[in-house]
Structure 1
Protein backbone atom coordinates (compact mmCIF):
# COMPACT_ATOMS: atom_id res chain seq x y z
CA UNK A 1 0.00 0.00 0.00
CA UNK A 2 1.04 3.58 -0.68
CA UNK A 3 -0.56 7.00 -0.31
CA UNK A 4 -0.11 10.47 -1.68
CA UNK A 5 -1.64 13.68 -0.19
CA UNK A 6 -3.57 15.64 -2.82
CA UNK A 7 -3.51 18.88 -0.78
CA UNK A 8 -7.21 19.41 -1.57
CA UNK A 9 -9.56 19.26 1.41
CA UNK A 10 -7.09 16.96 3.15
CA UNK A 11 -7.80 14.33 0.57
CA UNK A 12 -5.34 11.45 0.28
CA UNK A 13 -5.00 9.16 -2.69
CA UNK A 14 -4.29 5.58 -1.70
CA UNK A 15 -3.22 2.84 -4.05
CA UNK A 16 -1.83 -0.67 -3.93
CA UNK A 17 0.53 -2.60 -6.20
CA UNK A 18 1.67 -6.20 -6.36
CA UNK A 19 4.52 -6.97 -3.89
CA UNK A 20 6.74 -8.50 -6.64
CA UNK A 21 6.40 -5.36 -8.74
CA UNK A 22 7.20 -3.20 -5.72
CA UNK A 23 10.37 -5.21 -5.02
CA UNK A 24 11.68 -5.09 -8.62
CA UNK A 25 13.38 -1.72 -8.25
CA UNK A 26 14.95 -2.74 -4.94
CA UNK A 27 16.16 -6.03 -6.46
CA UNK A 28 17.85 -4.11 -9.28
CA UNK A 29 19.50 -1.79 -6.77
CA UNK A 30 20.68 -4.70 -4.60
CA UNK A 31 21.99 -6.59 -7.66
CA UNK A 32 23.78 -3.47 -8.84
CA UNK A 33 25.27 -3.09 -5.36
CA UNK A 34 26.59 -6.66 -5.43
CA UNK A 35 28.04 -6.07 -8.89
CA UNK A 36 29.76 -2.86 -7.83
CA UNK A 37 31.12 -4.55 -4.70
CA UNK A 38 32.44 -7.47 -6.78
CA UNK A 39 34.09 -5.08 -9.23
CA UNK A 40 35.58 -3.15 -6.33
CA UNK A 41 37.05 -6.32 -4.80
CA UNK A 42 38.42 -7.44 -8.17
CA UNK A 43 39.93 -4.02 -8.78
CA UNK A 44 41.49 -4.06 -5.31
CA UNK A 45 42.99 -7.52 -5.94
CA UNK A 46 44.41 -6.37 -9.30
CA UNK A 47 45.88 -3.28 -7.64
CA UNK A 48 47.47 -5.36 -4.85
CA UNK A 49 48.84 -7.85 -7.38
CA UNK A 50 50.32 -5.02 -9.47
CA UNK A 51 51.90 -3.40 -6.41
CA UNK A 52 53.32 -6.80 -5.35
CA UNK A 53 54.87 -7.39 -8.79
CA UNK A 54 56.31 -3.87 -8.97
CA UNK A 55 57.77 -4.25 -5.48
CA UNK A 56 59.18 -7.70 -6.34
CA UNK A 57 60.76 -6.35 -9.53
CA UNK A 58 62.16 -3.38 -7.61
CA UNK A 59 63.69 -5.69 -4.98
CA UNK A 60 65.19 -7.87 -7.72
CA UNK A 61 66.70 -4.84 -9.46
CA UNK A 62 68.02 -3.60 -6.12
CA UNK A 63 69.66 -6.96 -5.40
CA UNK A 64 71.22 -6.96 -8.87
CA UNK A 65 72.47 -3.41 -8.32
CA UNK A 66 74.05 -4.38 -4.99
CA UNK A 67 75.92 -7.24 -6.70
CA UNK A 68 77.47 -4.97 -9.34
CA UNK A 69 80.39 -2.58 -9.33
CA UNK A 70 78.89 0.91 -9.55
CA UNK A 71 81.48 2.22 -12.03
CA UNK A 72 81.91 -0.62 -14.52
CA UNK A 73 78.59 -2.46 -14.24
CA UNK A 74 80.25 -5.86 -13.82
CA UNK A 75 80.31 -7.91 -10.62
CA UNK A 76 81.85 -6.36 -7.52
CA UNK A 77 84.45 -7.95 -5.23
CA UNK A 78 82.00 -9.52 -2.77
CA UNK A 79 79.91 -11.02 -5.57
CA UNK A 80 83.04 -12.35 -7.28
CA UNK A 81 84.19 -14.05 -4.10
CA UNK A 82 80.77 -15.50 -3.33
CA UNK A 83 80.03 -16.83 -6.82
CA UNK A 84 83.48 -18.35 -7.35
CA UNK A 85 83.46 -19.90 -3.86
CA UNK A 86 79.98 -21.38 -4.43
CA UNK A 87 80.98 -22.75 -7.83
CA UNK A 88 84.12 -24.41 -6.48
CA UNK A 89 82.19 -25.89 -3.56
CA UNK A 90 79.51 -27.40 -5.80
CA UNK A 91 81.72 -28.54 -8.68
CA UNK A 92 82.15 -32.31 -8.47
CA UNK A 93 83.67 -32.93 -11.89
CA UNK A 94 86.64 -30.62 -11.23
CA UNK A 95 86.83 -29.82 -14.93
CA UNK A 96 89.85 -27.62 -15.61
CA UNK A 97 89.28 -23.92 -14.94
CA UNK A 98 91.42 -20.83 -14.46
CA UNK A 99 91.48 -17.70 -12.33
CA UNK A 100 92.74 -14.59 -14.13
CA UNK A 101 93.91 -11.57 -12.14
CA UNK A 102 94.18 -8.51 -14.36
CA UNK A 103 95.61 -5.10 -13.43
CA UNK A 104 95.72 -1.90 -15.46
CA UNK A 105 99.39 -1.06 -15.94
CA UNK A 106 100.60 2.16 -14.29
CA UNK A 107 97.07 3.25 -13.44
CA UNK A 108 98.30 6.00 -11.12
CA UNK A 109 100.19 7.50 -14.04
CA UNK A 110 97.06 7.21 -16.17
CA UNK A 111 95.17 9.29 -13.61
CA UNK A 112 98.04 11.76 -13.20
CA UNK A 113 98.31 12.38 -16.95
CA UNK A 114 94.61 12.34 -17.82
CA UNK A 115 92.67 13.05 -14.64
CA UNK A 116 90.27 10.82 -12.76
CA UNK A 117 87.38 11.33 -15.17
CA UNK A 118 89.29 9.75 -18.06
CA UNK A 119 90.79 7.26 -15.61
CA UNK A 120 87.25 6.12 -14.84
CA UNK A 121 86.58 5.79 -18.57
CA UNK A 122 89.59 3.46 -18.81
CA UNK A 123 88.17 1.27 -16.04
CA UNK A 124 84.75 1.22 -17.71
CA UNK A 125 86.34 0.20 -21.01
CA UNK A 126 88.26 -2.55 -19.19
CA UNK A 127 85.07 -3.90 -17.65
CA UNK A 128 83.19 -3.89 -20.96
CA UNK A 129 86.07 -5.52 -22.83
CA UNK A 130 86.47 -8.31 -20.26
CA UNK A 131 82.73 -9.04 -20.20
CA UNK A 132 82.70 -9.31 -24.00
CA UNK A 133 85.92 -11.37 -24.19
CA UNK A 134 84.81 -14.26 -21.96
CA UNK A 135 81.92 -16.71 -22.08
CA UNK A 136 78.59 -15.74 -20.53
CA UNK A 137 78.99 -18.45 -17.85
CA UNK A 138 82.41 -17.20 -16.78
CA UNK A 139 82.55 -15.00 -13.67
CA UNK A 140 83.82 -11.51 -14.52
CA UNK A 141 84.19 -8.64 -12.08
CA UNK A 142 86.17 -5.80 -10.59
CA UNK A 143 87.92 -6.53 -7.28
CA UNK A 144 88.58 -2.84 -6.62
CA UNK A 145 90.80 -0.04 -7.89
CA UNK A 146 92.40 -1.17 -11.15
CA UNK A 147 92.20 -4.88 -10.29
CA UNK A 148 89.87 -7.21 -12.20
CA UNK A 149 89.19 -10.93 -11.77
CA UNK A 150 87.86 -13.49 -14.23
CA UNK A 151 87.15 -17.12 -13.38
CA UNK A 152 86.91 -19.30 -16.48
CA UNK A 153 84.80 -22.30 -15.57
CA UNK A 154 85.91 -24.62 -18.35
CA UNK A 155 89.10 -24.60 -20.42
CA UNK A 156 90.50 -27.30 -22.68
CA UNK A 157 94.06 -26.88 -21.41
CA UNK A 158 96.57 -24.29 -20.21
CA UNK A 159 97.44 -23.34 -23.78
CA UNK A 160 93.86 -22.16 -24.30
CA UNK A 161 94.13 -19.96 -21.18
CA UNK A 162 97.40 -18.48 -22.49
CA UNK A 163 95.78 -17.73 -25.86
CA UNK A 164 92.90 -16.00 -24.06
CA UNK A 165 95.36 -13.93 -21.99
CA UNK A 166 97.21 -12.97 -25.16
CA UNK A 167 93.93 -11.97 -26.79
CA UNK A 168 92.89 -9.83 -23.80
CA UNK A 169 96.26 -8.07 -23.69
CA UNK A 170 96.00 -7.26 -27.41
CA UNK A 171 92.44 -5.94 -27.15
CA UNK A 172 93.30 -3.77 -24.16
CA UNK A 173 96.20 -2.19 -26.05
CA UNK A 174 93.68 -1.25 -28.76
CA UNK A 175 91.23 0.51 -26.44
CA UNK A 176 90.48 4.01 -27.74
CA UNK A 177 89.42 6.82 -25.42
CA UNK A 178 89.13 10.36 -26.73
CA UNK A 179 91.72 12.81 -25.40
CA UNK A 180 93.65 10.01 -23.69
CA UNK A 181 97.36 10.62 -23.19
CA UNK A 182 99.81 7.73 -23.07
CA UNK A 183 99.15 4.05 -23.69
CA UNK A 184 96.88 1.43 -22.13
CA UNK A 185 98.05 -2.07 -21.26
CA UNK A 186 97.52 -4.71 -18.60
CA UNK A 187 99.31 -7.34 -16.56
CA UNK A 188 97.76 -10.77 -15.99
CA UNK A 189 98.42 -13.59 -13.52
CA UNK A 190 96.79 -17.00 -13.99
CA UNK A 191 96.28 -19.90 -11.57
CA UNK A 192 94.62 -23.15 -12.65
CA UNK A 193 91.83 -25.12 -11.02
CA UNK A 194 92.08 -27.80 -9.67
CA UNK A 195 95.79 -28.11 -10.47
CA UNK A 196 96.90 -25.24 -8.23
CA UNK A 197 94.03 -25.19 -5.76
CA UNK A 198 90.35 -25.86 -5.17
CA UNK A 199 89.43 -22.79 -3.10
CA UNK A 200 89.02 -19.16 -4.06
CA UNK A 201 91.57 -18.00 -1.50
CA UNK A 202 94.28 -20.36 -2.78
CA UNK A 203 93.69 -19.56 -6.45
CA UNK A 204 93.53 -15.81 -5.69
CA UNK A 205 96.86 -15.85 -3.83
CA UNK A 206 98.63 -17.89 -6.52
CA UNK A 207 97.23 -15.81 -9.39
CA UNK A 208 98.37 -12.71 -7.46
CA UNK A 209 101.91 -14.14 -7.27
CA UNK A 210 101.87 -14.79 -11.02
CA UNK A 211 100.58 -11.26 -11.61
CA UNK A 212 103.54 -9.73 -9.76
CA UNK A 213 105.91 -11.86 -11.80
CA UNK A 214 104.41 -10.23 -14.89
CA UNK A 215 104.91 -6.78 -13.37
CA UNK A 216 108.49 -7.56 -12.40
CA UNK A 217 109.21 -8.51 -16.00
CA UNK A 218 108.03 -5.13 -17.25
CA UNK A 219 104.22 -5.52 -17.36
CA UNK A 220 102.10 -5.65 -20.54
CA UNK A 221 101.77 -9.44 -20.62
CA UNK A 222 100.76 -12.51 -18.61
CA UNK A 223 102.27 -15.20 -16.41
CA UNK A 224 100.91 -18.63 -15.48
CA UNK A 225 101.68 -19.70 -11.95
CA UNK A 226 104.39 -22.36 -11.76
CA UNK A 227 104.61 -24.57 -8.70
CA UNK A 228 107.91 -24.27 -6.88
Structure 2
Protein backbone atom coordinates (compact mmCIF):
# COMPACT_ATOMS: atom_id res chain seq x y z
CA UNK A 1 0.00 0.00 0.00
CA UNK A 2 1.46 3.38 -1.07
CA UNK A 3 2.47 5.87 1.54
CA UNK A 4 1.16 9.35 0.55
CA UNK A 5 3.99 10.98 2.46
CA UNK A 6 6.57 8.93 0.57
CA UNK A 7 4.94 9.80 -2.75
CA UNK A 8 5.13 13.51 -1.93
CA UNK A 9 8.87 13.13 -1.29
CA UNK A 10 9.49 11.06 -4.46
CA UNK A 11 7.89 13.56 -6.85
CA UNK A 12 10.17 16.54 -6.09
CA UNK A 13 13.14 14.18 -5.79
CA UNK A 14 12.42 12.84 -9.27
CA UNK A 15 12.13 16.36 -10.65
CA UNK A 16 15.47 17.37 -9.09
CA UNK A 17 17.09 14.21 -10.44
CA UNK A 18 15.72 14.92 -13.89
CA UNK A 19 17.03 18.49 -13.81
CA UNK A 20 20.45 17.37 -12.60
CA UNK A 21 20.56 14.72 -15.30
CA UNK A 22 19.66 17.31 -17.94
CA UNK A 23 22.34 19.70 -16.66
CA UNK A 24 24.95 16.94 -16.62
CA UNK A 25 24.08 16.01 -20.21
CA UNK A 26 24.21 19.64 -21.26
CA UNK A 27 27.64 20.10 -19.66
CA UNK A 28 28.90 16.91 -21.30
CA UNK A 29 27.70 18.01 -24.76
CA UNK A 30 29.19 21.47 -24.27
CA UNK A 31 32.51 19.93 -23.27
CA UNK A 32 32.47 17.65 -26.29
CA UNK A 33 31.68 20.59 -28.58
CA UNK A 34 34.53 22.62 -27.10
CA UNK A 35 36.92 19.69 -27.53
CA UNK A 36 35.81 19.32 -31.15
CA UNK A 37 36.30 23.03 -31.82
CA UNK A 38 39.79 22.90 -30.31
CA UNK A 39 40.70 19.87 -32.45
CA UNK A 40 39.38 21.59 -35.57
CA UNK A 41 41.33 24.73 -34.70
CA UNK A 42 44.54 22.76 -34.27
CA UNK A 43 43.85 20.92 -37.52
CA UNK A 44 43.27 24.22 -39.34
CA UNK A 45 46.48 25.67 -37.93
CA UNK A 46 48.44 22.57 -38.88
CA UNK A 47 47.26 22.91 -42.49
CA UNK A 48 47.59 26.68 -42.89
CA UNK A 49 50.56 28.83 -43.75
CA UNK A 50 50.77 31.30 -40.88
CA UNK A 51 51.82 34.25 -43.05
CA UNK A 52 49.47 34.04 -46.02
CA UNK A 53 46.52 32.14 -44.57
CA UNK A 54 46.46 29.65 -47.46
CA UNK A 55 47.45 25.98 -47.36
CA UNK A 56 50.98 25.17 -46.28
CA UNK A 57 53.28 22.92 -48.31
CA UNK A 58 52.23 19.58 -46.83
CA UNK A 59 48.50 20.33 -46.84
CA UNK A 60 48.65 21.64 -50.41
CA UNK A 61 50.57 18.66 -51.74
CA UNK A 62 48.35 16.20 -49.84
CA UNK A 63 45.21 17.83 -51.29
CA UNK A 64 46.58 17.68 -54.84
CA UNK A 65 47.72 14.09 -54.36
CA UNK A 66 44.26 13.11 -53.08
CA UNK A 67 42.57 14.75 -56.08
CA UNK A 68 44.81 12.89 -58.53
CA UNK A 69 44.47 9.57 -56.70
CA UNK A 70 40.68 9.67 -56.39
CA UNK A 71 39.84 10.94 -59.88
CA UNK A 72 40.63 8.60 -62.75
CA UNK A 73 41.22 10.25 -66.11
CA UNK A 74 41.00 13.66 -64.48
CA UNK A 75 41.20 17.13 -65.97
CA UNK A 76 43.25 19.93 -64.47
CA UNK A 77 46.15 22.36 -64.62
CA UNK A 78 48.95 22.61 -62.08
CA UNK A 79 50.64 25.99 -61.74
CA UNK A 80 53.98 26.49 -59.99
CA UNK A 81 54.49 30.22 -59.37
CA UNK A 82 57.69 31.90 -58.18
CA UNK A 83 58.25 35.61 -57.45
CA UNK A 84 61.16 36.92 -59.52
CA UNK A 85 64.18 38.32 -57.66
CA UNK A 86 62.33 38.21 -54.37
CA UNK A 87 65.59 38.11 -52.44
CA UNK A 88 66.26 41.67 -53.61
CA UNK A 89 62.96 42.76 -52.02
CA UNK A 90 64.06 41.51 -48.62
CA UNK A 91 67.57 42.89 -49.05
CA UNK A 92 66.64 46.41 -50.19
CA UNK A 93 63.29 47.26 -48.61
CA UNK A 94 63.24 44.83 -45.70
CA UNK A 95 61.65 41.59 -44.58
CA UNK A 96 58.53 43.34 -43.30
CA UNK A 97 57.69 44.58 -46.79
CA UNK A 98 58.62 41.16 -48.16
CA UNK A 99 56.19 39.49 -45.79
CA UNK A 100 53.46 41.93 -46.80
CA UNK A 101 54.04 41.12 -50.47
CA UNK A 102 53.80 37.39 -49.74
CA UNK A 103 50.60 37.97 -47.79
CA UNK A 104 49.12 40.00 -50.66
CA UNK A 105 50.18 37.30 -53.11
CA UNK A 106 48.24 34.74 -51.09
CA UNK A 107 45.15 36.96 -51.16
CA UNK A 108 45.54 37.56 -54.90
CA UNK A 109 45.72 33.84 -55.63
CA UNK A 110 42.65 33.08 -53.52
CA UNK A 111 40.72 35.80 -55.38
CA UNK A 112 42.00 34.65 -58.80
CA UNK A 113 40.83 31.05 -58.51
CA UNK A 114 37.69 29.23 -57.48
CA UNK A 115 37.08 28.13 -53.92
CA UNK A 116 37.19 24.51 -55.13
CA UNK A 117 40.72 24.91 -56.53
CA UNK A 118 43.77 24.17 -54.36
CA UNK A 119 46.03 27.09 -53.49
CA UNK A 120 49.11 26.80 -51.28
CA UNK A 121 52.46 28.28 -50.39
CA UNK A 122 55.10 25.61 -50.91
CA UNK A 123 58.29 27.60 -50.36
CA UNK A 124 59.61 31.00 -49.33
CA UNK A 125 58.25 32.77 -52.42
CA UNK A 126 56.83 29.75 -54.24
CA UNK A 127 53.14 29.00 -54.64
CA UNK A 128 51.27 26.08 -56.14
CA UNK A 129 47.77 26.06 -57.58
CA UNK A 130 45.73 23.17 -58.89
CA UNK A 131 42.84 24.21 -61.13
CA UNK A 132 40.43 21.30 -60.81
CA UNK A 133 38.27 20.04 -63.68
CA UNK A 134 39.94 22.32 -66.21
CA UNK A 135 38.25 21.47 -69.52
CA UNK A 136 39.20 24.67 -71.38
CA UNK A 137 41.82 25.01 -74.08
CA UNK A 138 45.50 25.83 -73.67
CA UNK A 139 44.74 29.29 -75.08
CA UNK A 140 42.43 29.98 -72.14
CA UNK A 141 45.15 28.85 -69.76
CA UNK A 142 47.63 31.20 -71.42
CA UNK A 143 45.28 34.14 -70.89
CA UNK A 144 44.88 33.10 -67.27
CA UNK A 145 48.65 33.12 -66.76
CA UNK A 146 49.05 36.48 -68.50
CA UNK A 147 46.36 38.08 -66.30
CA UNK A 148 47.88 36.53 -63.20
CA UNK A 149 51.29 37.98 -64.04
CA UNK A 150 49.78 41.40 -64.67
CA UNK A 151 47.92 41.37 -61.35
CA UNK A 152 51.07 40.24 -59.58
CA UNK A 153 53.07 43.13 -61.07
CA UNK A 154 50.38 45.56 -59.91
CA UNK A 155 50.57 44.10 -56.42
CA UNK A 156 54.33 44.64 -56.40
CA UNK A 157 53.96 48.24 -57.57
CA UNK A 158 51.80 49.02 -54.55
CA UNK A 159 54.95 48.44 -52.53
CA UNK A 160 57.07 50.48 -54.96
CA UNK A 161 58.68 47.29 -56.22
CA UNK A 162 59.15 46.64 -59.93
CA UNK A 163 59.12 42.89 -60.10
CA UNK A 164 57.19 40.03 -61.59
CA UNK A 165 56.57 36.32 -61.35
CA UNK A 166 57.40 33.26 -63.40
CA UNK A 167 54.98 30.37 -63.82
CA UNK A 168 55.48 26.75 -64.76
CA UNK A 169 52.30 24.98 -65.82
CA UNK A 170 51.29 21.41 -66.53
CA UNK A 171 48.03 20.87 -68.40
CA UNK A 172 46.47 17.44 -68.18
CA UNK A 173 43.11 16.39 -69.57
CA UNK A 174 41.55 12.94 -69.40
CA UNK A 175 44.81 11.66 -67.92
CA UNK A 176 45.96 9.47 -65.05
CA UNK A 177 49.07 10.91 -63.43
CA UNK A 178 50.97 10.65 -60.16
CA UNK A 179 51.67 13.70 -58.01
CA UNK A 180 55.45 13.30 -58.07
CA UNK A 181 55.44 13.15 -61.87
CA UNK A 182 53.30 16.24 -62.34
CA UNK A 183 55.29 18.09 -59.67
CA UNK A 184 58.55 17.46 -61.55
CA UNK A 185 56.98 18.60 -64.81
CA UNK A 186 55.71 21.83 -63.25
CA UNK A 187 59.09 22.45 -61.61
CA UNK A 188 60.90 21.91 -64.91
CA UNK A 189 58.50 24.28 -66.68
CA UNK A 190 59.10 26.91 -63.99
CA UNK A 191 62.88 26.67 -64.44
CA UNK A 192 62.45 27.06 -68.19
CA UNK A 193 60.38 30.21 -67.59
CA UNK A 194 63.13 31.55 -65.32
CA UNK A 195 65.83 30.83 -67.89
CA UNK A 196 63.76 32.55 -70.57
CA UNK A 197 64.22 35.89 -68.85
CA UNK A 198 61.70 35.70 -66.00
CA UNK A 199 58.21 37.20 -66.02
CA UNK A 200 57.42 34.31 -68.36
CA UNK A 201 55.22 31.25 -68.26
CA UNK A 202 55.88 27.86 -69.80
CA UNK A 203 53.03 25.41 -70.32
CA UNK A 204 53.68 21.69 -70.68
CA UNK A 205 50.70 19.90 -72.21
CA UNK A 206 50.78 16.23 -71.31
CA UNK A 207 48.18 15.38 -73.93
CA UNK A 208 50.50 16.52 -76.72
CA UNK A 209 52.63 13.47 -75.95
CA UNK A 210 49.84 11.16 -77.03
One fold, TM greater than 0.5? Answer: yes
Task: Please tell me whether residue 211 in structure 1 is matched to residue 203 in structure 2.
Answer: no
Contact 1:103 1:187 in 2 (8 A): yes
Deviation at 1:176, TM superposition (A): 5.8
Deviation at 1:83, TM superposition (A): 1.0
Structure 1 segments, 4+ long, off by >6 Å, are none
Residue of 113, 117, 131 corresponding to 1:134: 113
Contact 1:113 1:181 in 2 (8 A): no
Q: Number of matched residues?
A: 206
Per the normalisation by structure 2, the TM-score is 0.89
Residue of 115, 123, 127 corresponding to 1:148: 127
Residue of 151, 171, 196 corresponding to 2:151: 171
Contact 2:68 2:177 in 1 (8 A): yes
Distance 1:219 1:88 in 2: 29
Counterpart position of 2:19? 39
| 1:172 alignment partner, SS class | helix
Task: Please tell me whether residue 113 in structure 1 is matched to residue 92 in structure 2.
Answer: yes
Distance 1:65 1:40 in 2: 37
Task: Please tell me whether residue 89 in structure 1 is matched to residue 69 in structure 2.
Answer: yes
Deviation at 1:70, TM superposition (A): 1.0
Contact 1:193 1:203 in 2 (8 A): no
Distance 1:69 1:184 in 2: 23
- Point out which structure has higher relative CO (alpha carbons under 8 A, 6+ apart): 2
Q: Larger C-alpha radius of gyration, 1 or 2? A: 1
Change (3 A) 1:145 1:51: same
Between Structure 1 and Structure 2, the one with more helix by share is: 2
Contact 2:81 2:190 in 1 (8 A): yes
Q: Any residues of structure 2 matched to 1:73-88 within 5 Å, and which?
A: 73-88=53-68
Distance 1:130 1:190 in 2: 15
Gaps of 5+ in 1: 1-19
Gaps of 5+ in 2: none
Task: Please tell me whether residue 199 in structure 1 is matched to residue 178 in structure 2.
Answer: yes
Per the normalisation by structure 1, the TM-score is 0.82
Change (3 A) 1:67 1:213: same
CA RMSD of aligned residues (A): 2.3
Counterpart position of 1:125? 104
Contact 2:77 2:132 in 1 (8 A): yes
Q: Any residues of structure 2 matched to 1:5-44 within 5 Å, and which?
A: 24=4, 26-44=6-24
Contact 1:74 1:127 in 2 (8 A): yes
Deviation at 1:177, TM superposition (A): 7.2
Deviation at 1:159, TM superposition (A): 1.3
Deviation at 1:197, TM superposition (A): 7.0
Contact 2:119 2:130 in 1 (8 A): yes
